[in-house]
Structure 1
Amino acid sequence: MKKIFYSFIFVVLLINNSFAQDKPIKSKDTDSESLSKEAPKAAHNQYKIYTLERDTIYIDTSLTIKSEYKYNYLRKDIFGLQQFTNEGQTYNTLFFGLNEFSALPEFGFTGKQFPYLQVKDINYYSVATPISELYFKTVMEQGQSVDALITVNTSEQFNFSVAYRGLRSLGKYINQLSSIGNFRFTTSYTSKNNRYSINSHFTGQDMLNGENGGITSIDDFESDDKDFKNRARLQVYLTDAKSFLKGKRLFIDHNFRINPKQSSNNLIINHQFNLENKFYEFNQKTLSTTLDNDTFQRFGTSYVSSNINDQTRYQRMYNKLGAIYQNTTLGEFQFFVEDFKYVYKYNKILILEDQTIPNQLSERLNAFGAQYSYQKNNWKGKFIYSKAISKQTFSTIEANLKYKLNDKNDFTFQYQNISSVPNNNYILHQSSYIDYNWKNNFENQKINKIQIDANTQWVNLSAQFSVLNDHLYFSNDATDDKFQLITPKQYNKSISYVSFKASKEIAYKKFGLDNTILYQNVSQEDDILNVPQLTARNTLYYTNYFFKKALYLQTGITANYFTKYYANDYNPVLGEFFVQNQTEIGNFPMLDFFVNARIRQARIFLKAEHFNSGMTGNKFYSAPNTPYRDFMIRFGLVWTFFQ
């Protein structure tokens, strides 16, 4: 109810703001002719969205095929991610290249963190007049998905934004509730002489999911029995288990120029601060599952007979202090030191026969590094080197070089060499389930990665090549697939991964065909890193204006597909995916029919999702024992208000 109330408050504010809005700004997009011909209050380039890295885009109210791809709960293109049945659940990763690596250890529980907004996901704004945006979309059952934003510049120098993303969806299967809230507040300030600037944000986030562990009988799901068309009649492994992740973060990034006036040579002091708390809980009242008159516990034996309540707490504080020498000809040279302190803990020490499981990990990691940035004419580059100066070793080498030939053609080369400290839950975990307790001493993961991107007027190409050493993963120690006894492991051999992705949008008159195809190949002695060899998305669509260009219409069909492979399975106790080599999924098309419209700044979306589900047989899955979504119709809108 709290998320619904917050969402309602934001909607009221947005509607109130809409009554006061003036004429819209003119957008440089394909359907800009539908906007008012009267002069706007401000130019479109005075409405900016920028990231922490100062990558800037302009607020866009157009309706393109990219708008259709981003119209989902995560508000981004999710090509390479396979959605679970209910909105707000986790995603299986089809495209290994989407994984990002950091030298510093993270909390873990990565399967729960897809909706969690990280530092890189927070946007900052600079707007000539106040702007509000409302995202709304229907869900599977009993709920809604809302994302609302208000941003204001009180002066040319100072901006703040307040936003809230709320989701509640009961789902079609037993014990599948999603209830998620993401609050964020950002502020930006630049002094009039540009000597001092700051970007800061606060986030408060919580993710509650019912965890049913998947269906117990694949045969019931795949049968033509009409009784099982009501998915709530399918038996699941867990009927009252749930997971809960919450976190709060205060982040500050600010710069101060030592010399009073901007010149060809500048000395700048930079400081970055990140204080974050996270909490993960797995709760399960009833431990036993009955299947074919056999009663068992899905996750093995436990210390308690009921009411499992595993809790993991985490706090991190990160400081980065740097000095930048800026020369208009040579570029920017930065030297910095990093201080990272974390505490990862449980409320008890566990004494076993063969080992003692401590109640916490606590460590302080320090590093020294340098960064060089260059941007001139058609070239843009950034090179980073950092290495630990503390007892725990880690290091990062990154290079990013971009050449822009013209407005339609650019080329990017990226190299990354990281020695990464293992995530905390690989090293330490405690649970009321006996097999889910460990204290490990793993080596750092070593990642070498090369990526080349070519965005051209003919086709967009991307190639990745990675070599992984001491790769960490989770796998199932049980020999019977009705049990999940998941433990972390480290692979002591090399894994080579290569991928090629090509995408091209072809337009002919009012028709368009957008194609993306991904090829992946892994060279390894054992099946540790499993990916589909081919993943594709193809969209055929039609666009046109109606009612004297007051309405812009977009309609078409999107086909998603990936070849069969041994997909990772999901474990709710750990909130992690694990490697399995018994069940293949894939080789089924997922067809969506959509009709989208744009009226001024309002974009309206209507979609028949997976409308071919009744034609291809019930053999569509997101993970072993976890079906993909059935056919359903969903609708919603994205509405931007310029005041």
Structure 2
Amino acid sequence: MKKILITAIIALICGTISAQNTLSNQFGSSASGTDRDGFDRNGNPIDTTAVNDASTIPIGLTSWKIDARFGNRTEVPVDTLQHGFQNTNDTGGPYGHYTYLGNLGAPRIAHVYFDRKDASQFFFFDPYDYTVLQPQDVTYTNTKSPFVNLTYYKQGSSRDGEERFKAYFAVNANKRLGFGFNIDYVYGRGKYAHQSTALFNGNLFAYYLGDKYNMHFSFINDNLKVAENGGITDDRYVSAPIDMAEGGRTYANSEIPTNLTDIWNHNTGYHAFLTHRYNLGFYRDNPNENDTLVTQVFVPVTSFMHTLKVDIAKRKYISQNEEQNQEYFLNNFLPDVERDKTDYLAVKNTFGISLREGFNKWAKAGLTAFISHELRQFTMTDTITGTPGQRIPTKYTENVISVGGQLIKEQGKMFHYNVTGEFALIGEDAGAFSVEGNGNMNFRLFNDTVRLEANAFIKNQNPTFYYRHFHSKHYWWDNNDLSKMMRTRIEGKLSIDRWRTQLKAGVENITNYTYLDNTSVVTGGEEGSETSASFLNNVGVAQHSGSIQVFSASLRQDFKVGILHLDNEVTYQTSSNQDILPLPKLTLYHNLYLSFGLAKKVLEVEMGADVRYFTEYYAPDYAPAIGQFYLQNKETRYKLGNYPLLNGYINLHLKRTRIFLMMYNLIQGRGAHSYFLAPHYPLNPRLFKIGISWNFFD
């Protein structure tokens, strides 16, 4: 199978390069780069209202995403980016904002606090936001001819290497109806024992954009299987390998002993999403004099909206080596059960009515009112014994009815805003509320475009279900007295394109911060111990009744002199309680490279090196039996960080084909905690990576 795949890839490269020579006059060549702010946490293009470069994208090809509540559209660029392509497969994020377990596709958590998202109801998917899609992440495409993107990443051998394959297809039945699919498969075998990942995400989408009726539909499937090794038994196998060899040969990575074997977390999910609306309005003459084909346009006045979201998810924890693994965990609540599991079902309906913006000169903003109902069901294994060898599951059912409204202004060139509020009237979350707002203003200053953006929210949140109840083989809690979390944030951003400058700052206050704590029982070892075998692992939920403040400021400043470029990002952040919410003070990203064209600029080249760095802090530990990050044990905790992760790369862009070559972790440093982002989980050593992506517009 592998030989066939490699042969197909080589043939496809040759065919693509040949075809591009004959089609270049039709489609043109790609731009040499784009704004560094063009990636999201998964390495995909972020939401933006920027118009696609006509020299890169064929006429008639546009893409957009929608918001999951109302189905409003936001245009996004078609994925033809060259700049930063080498970082689109980095589990740590394009700029190194994430702590993760080293392997491709491993669980991760943002160590830049403002990059963290709210915990979802089925929070087992949250550490895999690298590949797991939500309805608002699905990209819809309108195209005059079929559009295909194929991307393949490769590193290492069939024994310990990693691969990722992504495919995107979009086609239109007519100018109003389109559909397509997306496939994303991640396979990280792992440099260390028992840490393999196999992550599959696939989705189907369809849309209809009529004058009076609009519809967007998506169906997403997730299948995530991850081996858990509990980290290596002693960090010195990596940080001081000569000492551990006792005068003999050093250990190969795959030979380093790990805390756990034969343990897997297996999460599956099926997500159906439908948002549609019916518009009442009128037709008037087309104000665009350049568009001679359309004489009249439809002006919506009122919209009636409905959104349906159905989530079905299952988690299985599989342990097949109880004798050895029990030495790691404090408790075994289900000694006769090899697999514990939990199931989740949620059905949410939202109905709304909207008075649309811009139908006359007095309608300067749109106004929407909505009501929603959500049914949530959770099933968990329990200690109540049924027939011999089986357990009777416990089922929890929650219902929530909420109301809310939105005030939005999207039209015009200078000023835009969006304010949305929601209040839970009835059910498990009764009394919870949120008010979120964002706005931006664009104006000219010294022949340049300046953008001011602001966003703010206040949220009174009920901790998600699995913080309140969780039953499993090794962790067990029922917290019926948790208070609601109150969070208030305000953030602003200034962007000046000509100066290549972006400055962002924000502050958040959190009351009743709820988190996963380390309740391990220490059996030996001292503070700063490098081995996780000094305590029996246990996790619980804790809530800090006081307030915690987080301040963050980030500066992105890029420089260019001829073909020499230097991109920089510096993020400073501080937490008022580092014991409960530890954060690194500084997070840095720097990228020094040459960018130039060859063969009359048909072949565009970027070559350079980038570095990621964060200062020392008490990085979160990882709980393999629940697949979540949590606080380190205070009696054995130690700081991680202060290690520059340096990568060298070459990016090539030949019309519609992009290729990168990278040498990862160039310095492969030594030290007390050499290249660890999370306790006892080392990064991959120095290695070579390659990636290739093709776009087909016909």
Question: Is this a same-fold pair by TM over 0.5?
Answer: yes
Cross-structure match for 2:526: none
Q: Quickly say closer, same or farther: Cα 1:538–1:208, change in 2 above 3 A.
A: same
Shift in Å, 1:6: 13
Q: Match of 1:365, as an amino acid? A: V
In structure 2, C-alpha distance between the alignment counterparts of 1:271 and 1:26, rounded to whole Å: 41
Cross-structure match for 1:535: 587
Alignment check: 8 A CA contact 2:91 2:106 kept: no
Give the alignment's Cα RMSD to 1 decimal.
Answer: 3.0
What are the equivalent positions in structure 2 for 1:502-521 lying under 5 Å apart? Answer: 502-521=555-574
In structure 1, C-alpha distance between the alignment counterparts of 2:547 and 2:672, rounded to whole Å: 39
In structure 2, C-alpha distance between the alignment counterparts of 1:5 and 1:421, rounded to whole Å: 52
Q: Match of 1:379, as an amino acid? A: F
Alignment match of 2:435 (pick from 393, 397, 410): 397
Cross-structure match for 2:173: 154
In structure 2, C-alpha distance between the alignment counterparts of 1:596 and 1:42, rounded to whole Å: 17
1:196 aligns with 2:238: no
| SS at 2:238 equivalent | helix
User: Residue deviations 1:341-380, cap 9 Å, x none?
Assistant: 11011244649xxxxx981221110111110111333111
Q: Quickly say closer, same or farther: Cα 1:72–1:222, change in 2 above 3 A.
A: closer
Same amino acid, percent of matched pairs = 20
Cross-structure match for 1:339: 373
Comparing 55-64 with 485-494, greater Cα deviation is found at: 55-64
Shift in Å, 1:213: 0.5
Alignment match of 1:563 (pick from 607, 615, 620): 615
Q: Match of 2:494, as an amino acid? A: A
Q: Quickly say closer, same or farther: Cα 1:438–1:43, change in 2 above 3 A.
A: closer
| SS at 1:46 equivalent | coil
Shift in Å, 1:590: 0.7
Alignment match of 1:52 (pick from 66, 89, 98): 66
Cross-structure match for 1:125: 141
Q: Match of 1:276, as an amino acid? A: D
Shift in Å, 1:263: 6.3
In structure 1, C-alpha distance between the alignment counterparts of 2:619 and 2:669, rounded to whole Å: 23
In structure 1, C-alpha distance between the alignment counterparts of 2:85 and 2:32, rounded to whole Å: 12
Q: Match of 1:315, as an amino acid? A: L
1:492 aligns with 2:492: no
Q: Quickly say closer, same or farther: Cα 1:604–1:327, change in 2 above 3 A.
A: closer
In structure 2, C-alpha distance between the alignment counterparts of 1:81 and 1:141, rounded to whole Å: 26
| SS at 2:281 equivalent | coil
Alignment match of 2:419 (pick from 379, 383, 396): 383
Alignment match of 1:470 (pick from 497, 501, 512): 512
Shift in Å, 1:11: 7.4
In structure 1, C-alpha distance between the alignment counterparts of 2:574 and 2:466, rounded to whole Å: 28
TM-score by length of 2: 0.82
Q: Match of 2:167, as an amino acid? A: A
TM-score by length of 1: 0.89
In structure 2, C-alpha distance between the alignment counterparts of 1:5 and 1:368, rounded to whole Å: 56
In structure 1, C-alpha distance between the alignment counterparts of 2:592 and 2:579, rounded to whole Å: 36
In structure 1, C-alpha distance between the alignment counterparts of 2:8 and 2:130, rounded to whole Å: 23
Shift in Å, 1:41: 12
Alignment check: 8 A CA contact 1:453 1:462 kept: yes
Cross-structure match for 1:430: 471
Q: Match of 1:322, as an amino acid? A: G
What are the equivalent positions in structure 2 for 1:186-585 lying under 5 Å apart? Answer: 186-191=205-210, 194-225=211-242, 227-259=249-281, 261=283, 266-289=301-324, 297-305=327-335, 308-328=338-358, 329-348=363-382, 350=384, 359-375=394-410, 376-391=412-427, 392-406=430-444, 408-433=449-474, 435-457=475-497, 458=499, 459-480=501-522, 481-524=534-577, 527-580=579-632, 581=634, 582-585=637-640
What are the equivalent positions in structure 2 for 1:623-638 lying under 5 Å apart? Answer: 623-638=678-693
In structure 2, C-alpha distance between the alignment counterparts of 1:386 and 1:6, rounded to whole Å: 53
Shift in Å, 1:639: 1.2
Shift in Å, 1:80: 1.0
What are the equivalent positions in structure 2 for 1:68-83 lying under 5 Å apart? Answer: 68-72=86-90, 77-83=94-100
In structure 1, C-alpha distance between the alignment counterparts of 2:561 and 2:514, rounded to whole Å: 48
Q: Quickly say closer, same or farther: Cα 1:312–1:595, change in 2 above 3 A.
A: same
Alignment check: 8 A CA contact 1:87 1:139 kept: no
Shift in Å, 1:69: 3.3
Alignment check: 8 A CA contact 2:181 2:204 kept: yes
Alignment check: 8 A CA contact 1:518 1:536 kept: yes
| SS at 1:390 equivalent | strand
In structure 2, C-alpha distance between the alignment counterparts of 1:602 and 1:178, rounded to whole Å: 28
Alignment match of 1:67 (pick from 72, 82, 85): 85
Q: Quickly say closer, same or farther: Cα 1:137–1:395, change in 2 above 3 A.
A: same
Cross-structure match for 1:293: none
Alignment check: 8 A CA contact 1:7 1:166 kept: no
Specify every segment of 5 or more residues in structure 2 that has no aligned partner in the other structure, as ranges. 35-53, 68-72, 284-296, 386-391, 523-533
Shift in Å, 1:607: 0.4
Alignment match of 2:642 (pick from 587, 591, 604): 587
Q: Quickly say closer, same or farther: Cα 1:48–1:153, change in 2 above 3 A.
A: same
Q: Quickly say closer, same or farther: Cα 1:264–1:621, change in 2 above 3 A.
A: same
Q: Match of 1:545, as an amino acid? A: G
What are the equivalent positions in structure 2 for 1:100-179 lying under 5 Å apart? Answer: 100-101=117-118, 105-108=121-124, 110-142=126-158, 143-179=162-198
Shift in Å, 1:419: 1.3
Cross-structure match for 1:98: 115
In structure 1, C-alpha distance between the alignment counterparts of 2:303 and 2:328, rounded to whole Å: 57
| SS at 2:536 equivalent | coil
In structure 2, C-alpha distance between the alignment counterparts of 1:9 and 1:374, rounded to whole Å: 52
Q: Quickly say closer, same or farther: Cα 1:92–1:230, change in 2 above 3 A.
A: farther
In structure 1, C-alpha distance between the alignment counterparts of 2:343 and 2:4, rounded to whole Å: 26
Shift in Å, 1:338: 1.0
Shift in Å, 1:429: 1.0
In structure 1, C-alpha distance between the alignment counterparts of 2:229 and 2:156, rounded to whole Å: 16
Alignment check: 8 A CA contact 2:122 2:313 kept: no
| SS at 2:396 equivalent | strand
Alignment check: 8 A CA contact 2:29 2:56 kept: no
In structure 2, C-alpha distance between the alignment counterparts of 1:5 and 1:439, rounded to whole Å: 53
Cross-structure match for 1:36: none
In structure 2, C-alpha distance between the alignment counterparts of 1:151 and 1:7, rounded to whole Å: 23
User: Residue deviations 1:65-103, cap 9 Å, x none?
Assistant: x333334469x635311342211111242101111237x
Q: Quickly say closer, same or farther: Cα 1:306–1:211, change in 2 above 3 A.
A: farther
In structure 2, C-alpha distance between the alignment counterparts of 1:68 and 1:15, rounded to whole Å: 18
In structure 1, C-alpha distance between the alignment counterparts of 2:670 and 2:128, rounded to whole Å: 32
Alignment check: 8 A CA contact 2:179 2:206 kept: yes
Shift in Å, 1:7: 8.8
In structure 2, C-alpha distance between the alignment counterparts of 1:140 and 1:15, rounded to whole Å: 21
| SS at 2:136 equivalent | helix
Q: Quickly say closer, same or farther: Cα 1:147–1:73, change in 2 above 3 A.
A: farther
Alignment check: 8 A CA contact 2:610 2:648 kept: yes
In structure 2, C-alpha distance between the alignment counterparts of 1:263 and 1:31, rounded to whole Å: 37
| SS at 2:330 equivalent | coil
Q: Quickly say closer, same or farther: Cα 1:41–1:623, change in 2 above 3 A.
A: closer
Q: Match of 1:598, as an amino acid? A: H
Alignment check: 8 A CA contact 1:141 1:169 kept: no
Cross-structure match for 1:30: 32
Q: Quickly say closer, same or farther: Cα 1:141–1:245, change in 2 above 3 A.
A: farther
Q: Match of 1:518, as an amino acid? A: T
Alignment check: 8 A CA contact 1:14 1:133 kept: no
